[in-house]
Chains A and B, each alone.
Chain A
């Protein structure tokens, strides 16, 4: 079945450093890849997304890259701040328009 693998499961960085989270997907027909940030006690919130006709997208300190051939996509956060600490989920759009989520990465940014 459709599957999304996400690594690492936990990531600790110093404030100001960069953080990279990587995902792979199994369904070559997937054409939409969002990234969600989930803070404690809240629902996931979209932070950036990318469609399969684009290789890279950037929004201020956040960027996402997509390699369709390898079925990889990655989230890059530069100049990390303590408020970036949260759980981040990657996802891929499934055949029915639903989202298949990775297991999440707990990012800790130390001041």
Chain B
């Protein structure tokens, strides 16, 4: 079974520029998460989708961050304009909607490391 795919793996941009990250979850996983992981800290949830609807975006800085999951499969996370403090690893995770012993488990992708100069 293929895991969660993310691209690009690394991105370096200047502050005030824009950047977009892509995530392809595990096939059949209805729930998709974007997390921000600052160096030396645990992942922090930015947004949660169920199919193509937003379940929780309370911690998403909506003045600069946006995310979409138009067809309920792939998702993109965008930052516009980027700030120095956005330097972090952006992790995508997916989870099956219901059923079976792995219902709670979130499967993470390798992440995209963003450096804002």
The answer for the CA separation of A61 and B111 in the assembled complex, in Å, is 28
Q: Count the B residues whose beta carbon is within 8 Å of the partner chain — how many? A: 22
Residues A15-50 near B (CB distance < 8 A): 32, 34, 36, 41-46, 49
Residues A80-111 near B (CB distance < 8 A): 89, 91, 93-94, 96-104
Instruction: Flag if A103 contacts B40 (CB, 8 Å).
Output: yes
Known: A44-B91, A103-B40. A98 touches B108 (CB 8 A): no
Measured as residues with beta carbon below 8 angstroms from the partner, the interface class of chain A is 20 to 34
Known: A97-B31, A97-B55. A49 touches B44 (CB 8 A): no
B111: chain A residues at CB < 8 Å are 42-43
Instruction: Flag if B41 contacts A43 (CB, 8 Å).
Output: no
B4: chain A residues at CB < 8 Å are 43
Known: A34-B104, A42-B110, A43-B110. A98 touches B33 (CB 8 A): yes
Known: A42-B110, A43-B110, A96-B55. A101 touches B43 (CB 8 A): yes
Interface residues of B (CB under 8 A from A): 4, 31, 33, 40-45, 48, 55-56, 91, 93, 104-111
24 interchain pairs, CB-CB under 8 A: A34-B106, A36-B108, A41-B110, A42-B111, A43-B91, A43-B93, A43-B110, A43-B111, A46-B106, A46-B107, A51-B104, A89-B42, A91-B42, A96-B48, A96-B56, A98-B33, A98-B48, A98-B56, A99-B43, A101-B43, A101-B44, A103-B42, A104-B40, A104-B42
